[in-house]
Structure 1
Amino acid sequence: MALSSTLPAAAESYLLMAEEDGCYWCGRWNKEISQIYPKTPEGKAAPLKRYDLHGEMPDVDFKQRVAFTPTFILVIDGKEVSRLEGYPGEDFFWGLLSQMLSRADIKLDEAS
């Protein structure tokens, strides 16, 4: 008789960036962070997805309407768990993102 155990599926987590054409701070984030983000432990734990604020809405259960760009929304299994409105610069971005991931119990693989 074979026994099998069912493990719960890993939660899908990602960082959703709301942006729009002409957004100065979106451009700054793109210049300072976008190229390195996917290579970081944070980027591996919460891969980046983007959407245009004035385009089609993503299939996410938002806590509130997105009003500013850029807005970075941590999404787990289709639900917003936290957000960062605006881009405070590279030095502050990483610390704030780390806090968002930590509060959501998302562990970072520091060996990456």
Structure 2
Amino acid sequence: MIRRRALLSWFALAAAAPAVAAPLRGPAAVPRGLALLLVESPGCPFCAAFRREVLPGYAARAEGRAAPVVPVPLEGPWPDGLVLAGAPYATPTFILLRDRVEVGRFQGYESPSWFWRELGALLAAAG
């Protein structure tokens, strides 16, 4: 499913390329070790709330230093070499990776306290 979406996204971007003034960025780099993939989509109010309420202070917390956030659009492009349990279908989806391999995930966003509780549980389970 990801391959088809990536291909469709590529065609859409290729068709719009003459109208784009700045070069398009490729997929985000995923660091070695732990990383938190943030799968989001344009217009997602829960993604916007997460970005507004959590993301500004994310890197200042121990959890944020342990697992840096890597934002990825639901429709791609996706970083190469990821090993996921399945394609995400809702946004936001938070996928904890260890060396680019999924070790756990949760979907949705309710509040900052809910997010930190869910991420803490994932990190504890990942060791």
| Corresponding residue to 2:108 among 73, 83, 86 | 86
Count of residue pairs the alignment pairs up: 95
Matched residue, 1:51 = 72
CA distance in structure 2 between the partners assigned to 1:58 and 1:82 by the alignment: 18
- Runs of 4+ with deviation above 3 angstroms: none
Deviation at 1:76, TM superposition (A): 0.3
Matched residue, 1:29 = 50
2:103 counterpart SS class: strand
Matched residue, 1:16 = 37
Confirm whether residue 68 of structure 1 aligns to residue 90 of structure 2: yes
Deviations 1:17-48 (A, max 9, x none): 00110001000001100100011000000011
2:97 counterpart SS class: strand
1:100 counterpart SS class: helix
Structure with the largest fraction of helix: 2
Deviation at 1:90, TM superposition (A): 1.1
Deviations 1:51-102 (A, max 9, x none): 1111212231110110010000000011000001111211211111100000
CA distance in structure 2 between the partners assigned to 1:79 and 1:14 by the alignment: 10
Stretches of structure 2 that go unaligned for 5 or more consecutive residues are 1-31
CA-atom RMSD in angstroms: 1.0
1:50 counterpart SS class: strand
CA distance in structure 1 between the partners assigned to 2:45 and 2:110 by the alignment: 12
Normalising by structure 1, report the TM-score.
Answer: 0.81
How many percent of aligned residue pairs carry the same amino acid? 36
Normalising by structure 2, report the TM-score.
Answer: 0.72
1:26 counterpart SS class: helix
CA distance in structure 2 between the partners assigned to 1:13 and 1:79 by the alignment: 9
CA distance in structure 2 between the partners assigned to 1:39 and 1:71 by the alignment: 21
